Amino acid sequence: MSSHIIGIDVGGTNVKAGLFNTDGDIIEWKKTPSLIHKGKQAFLEKISRIVINFEKKTPSIYPVLGIVVPGIIDKKRECVIHSPNLPGWDNFPIKHFLNEKLSMDIKLENDANGAALGELWKGAGKDLSNFMLLTLGTGLGSGLVLDKKLWTGEDGKAAEIGHTKIVPDGIRCDCGAKGCLEKYFSSSAIERIAKNALKSRKKTKLSWQPLTPKTVYEAARNGDAVALEIYREISRYLGIAIANVINLLGIKHFILSGGISNAANLFIPFLEYEIGKNLFYPFSKDFTIEKGKLGNRAGATGAAYLALKSVSPRRTEKVHKNNN
């Protein structure tokens, strides 16, 4: 009888994979370089080796693999339409190739949606019915959970808060549009604002070498006024966007994931102020902003949950009932 499930999170830098039991506990964990630059065949071989090694640990693995990837997923064609982190993958029918390679059913999802499912199953969202997860890093992704189910709209591509327009005719986004939220709250936004601060010769502990989100975080943590102002500025834009979500949907819980979430203790006060300032008055201000509990394991955990749900829906429903 099958009692284990595999979940894999594919990133531009690393592949993170977990062997889970059906309660969502990690039995085995693997993190390895993606090596995307070596081509699709090398990637497929890497995924195959991960699965084979997990199968050596236990023969009782469900014949279904959950996998999450950054970018836009076409659910009908079951392919990656476009991913800036996975060059050469445009319109790549990843499910078809993995089906042939592994003889397993493949469940494919966007990585932010996968992280939301992970936090729903085993993290900060397990006691919540409705929430939005935000992945804060190189870009800004999101996953929306309504009534304990992932909501992706009519065509499976919804809840992309990072590409909502926050500044009319603003900075050009990698997607081609102007003024997208992720150009105002992301690693690149932090670096851009920090560079402008240095050019204006403001008094700060920041320096050109190195100038990264990490050095900005360290300076802010040590009380640097310019670094703290950077977090205040980016929080203004994200606060407006979250307030718009609350005004539209009435949800009150937001979970932060991704690299920038490690600085949550610094910017959440700024974020809460901006959200409160922009809420429509009938809405109460008892919203919550919290850091996710799973860290960089959220995506793979969500991928495993996605796979498990496809073969054992009653099992996942039971897990939700036990969590309430």
> pLDDT digits over 304-323, tens only?
999 999 986 555 555 455 55
Contact 109, 302 (CB under 8 A): yes
- Which pLDDT value is given to residue 21? 95
- Which pLDDT value is given to residue 77? 84
- Which pLDDT value is given to residue 129? 97
| Identity of the highest mean pLDDT range in 40-44, 50-54, 156-160 | 50-54
Segment 236-250 shows an average pLDDT of 96
- Which pLDDT value is given to residue 12? 84
- Which pLDDT value is given to residue 314? 55
3-state secondary structure the chain: CCCEEEEEEECCCEEEEEEEECCCCEEEEEEEECCHHHCHHHHHHHHHHHHHHHHHHCCCEEEEEEEEECCEEECCCCEEEECCCCCCCCCECHHHHHHHHHCCEEEEEEHHHHHHHHHHHHCCCCCCCCEEEEEECCCEEEEEEECCEEECCCCCCCCCHHHCECCCCCCECCCCCECEHHHCCCHHHHHHHHHHHHHCCCCCCCCCCCCCHHHHHHHHHCCCHHHHHHHHHHHHHHHHHHHHHHHHHCCCEEEEECHHHHHHHHHHHHHHHHHHHHCCCCCCCCCEEEECCCHHHHHHHHHHHHHHHHHCHHHHHHHHHHHC
Interatomic CA distance for residues 235 and 304, integer angstroms: 32
Structure tokens at 133: 């997860």
Structure tokens at 141: 């992704």
How many percent of the chain have pLDDT more than 90?
Answer: 70
pLDDT mean across residues, the chain: 91
- Which pLDDT value is given to residue 142? 97
Segment 65-79 shows an average pLDDT of 89
Segment 134-138 shows an average pLDDT of 93
CA atoms within 13 A on the CB side of 198: 15
- For residue 203, pLDDT over 60 is answered with yes
- Which pLDDT value is given to residue 315? 52
Contact 315, 304 (CB under 8 A): no
Per-residue pLDDT band for 303 (boundaries 50, 70, 90) equals very high
pLDDT single digits (tens) 251-299: 999 999 999 999 999 999 999 999 999 999 777 788 999 999 999 999 9
Q: Nearest-CA neighbor of 30 among 4, 51, 44?
A: 51
Per-residue pLDDT band for 215 (boundaries 50, 70, 90) equals very high
Tokens 């809840």 sit at which residue?
159
- Which pLDDT value is given to residue 323? 53
Count the neighbouring beta carbons within 10 Å of the beta carbon of residue 259. 16
Question: What is the strand order of the sheet 253-257 is part of?
Answer: 149-151, 140-146, 131-136, 253-257, 288-291
Per-residue pLDDT band for 209 (boundaries 50, 70, 90) equals confident
Give the contacts of 286 (CB within 8 A, at least 6 positions apart): 252
- For residue 54, pLDDT over 70 is answered with yes
Cα angle 291, 124, 143 (rounded to 5 degrees) comes to 80
Interatomic CA distance for residues 301 and 12, integer angstroms: 18
Strand partners, 144: 132, 151
Interatomic CA distance for residues 320 and 312, integer angstroms: 13
Interatomic CA distance for residues 19 and 61, integer angstroms: 9
Domains contained in the chain, CATH given: 4-118+296-323 (3.30.420.40), 127-292 (3.30.420.40)
Per-residue pLDDT band for 52 (boundaries 50, 70, 90) equals very high
pLDDT single digits (tens) 160-184: 999 999 999 999 998 889 999 999 9
Interatomic CA distance for residues 278 and 150, integer angstroms: 26
Segment 111-121 shows an average pLDDT of 97
Q: What is the Cα 213 distance to its own chain's centre?
A: 18
Per-residue pLDDT band for 13 (boundaries 50, 70, 90) equals confident
